[in-house]
Chains A and B, each alone.
Chain A
Amino acid sequence: EIVLTQSPATLSVSPGERATLSCRASQSVSSNLAWYQQIPGQAPTLLIHDVSTRATGVPARFSGSGSGTEFTLTISSLQSEDFAVYYCQQYNSGVTFGPGTKVDLK
């Protein structure tokens, strides 16, 4: 099973600041990596798939990068609605999710 590790566990950011979230895989997942946002009490929403392709309707301030085992989700200028938990997911071999990074208000 491919294990995903996310860091940091919690990221405290002020509105307007840049947020950088990391996801590391225990083995290569090629380009088969997605990112989701989950606001408490809501279902996860797809942000990014195939490492860097934004899902329909996702603002341009969200971007993904990386390859192989190291991936990054960047929020260029954090908005109030972006405070949430972010999960990475690999679909190269089955499906596994990372434990999440909580982005909260500094």
Chain B
Amino acid sequence: QVQLVESGGGVVQPGKSLRLSCAASGFTFSASTVHWVRQTPDKGLEWVAVMSPDGSLKYFADSVKGRFTISRDNSENTLYLQMNSLRIEDTAVYSCARQAAGTPRWYFDYWGLGTLVTVSS
């Protein structure tokens, strides 16, 4: 069955960096578009970033552009989110979500449980 498992979250000071991982299984990762979405009790769900299956296309939310990068290792079935210059407002649960199979539209048929990132001094 399809599984997405995030890791790498933790407590970090403002201005520092953190790298998140999303390990995928149960589907052909190398043929799938996978996104990062974050969630907080206050701001709700916020789309963060996406990378195309071959890594050639990347898009970011304005709120993280220039600070976050996205990458993937198709041989390891893993998606990454490198978060630099972290701010307090980046505190959230970060989840990876698979774009629904067979469609170019950005809705998500499987989500991971997420990993908590806390930015605090």
Contacts and interface: CB of A to CB of B under 8 A. Distances in A.
B100 A96 contact: no
A46 B108 contact: yes
Nearest to B104: A91
Given A97-B44, A99-B44, A43 B113 contact: yes
A91 B44 contact: no
A80 B47 CA distance: 30
A49 B100 contact: yes
A42 B113 contact: yes
Given A49-B100, A91-B105, A91-B107, A97 B45 contact: yes
A8 interface: no
B111 interface: yes
15 contacts: A42-B113, A43-B113, A43-B114, A44-B45, A44-B108, A44-B111, A56-B109, A87-B44, A87-B45, A91-B106, A94-B47, A95-B37, A95-B47, A96-B47, A98-B44
Interface residues of B, number: 19
B46 interface: yes
A95 B37 CA distance: 10
Interface string A74-96: 00000000000001010100111
Q: Across the A-B interface, give the 7 residue pairs with the lowest CB-CB distance, nearest first.
A: A95-B47, A97-B45, A43-B111, A91-B106, A34-B107, A49-B107, A99-B44
Contacts of A46: 100, 107-109
A55 B49 CA distance: 23
A32 interface: yes
A98 B111 CA distance: 17
Contacts of B111: 43-45
A85 to B, nearest CB: 10
Interface string A51-91: 00001100000000000000000000000000000010101
**Chain A CB within 10 Å — which of B105, B112, B114 has the most?**
B105
A35 to B, nearest CB: 10
Contacts of A45: 111
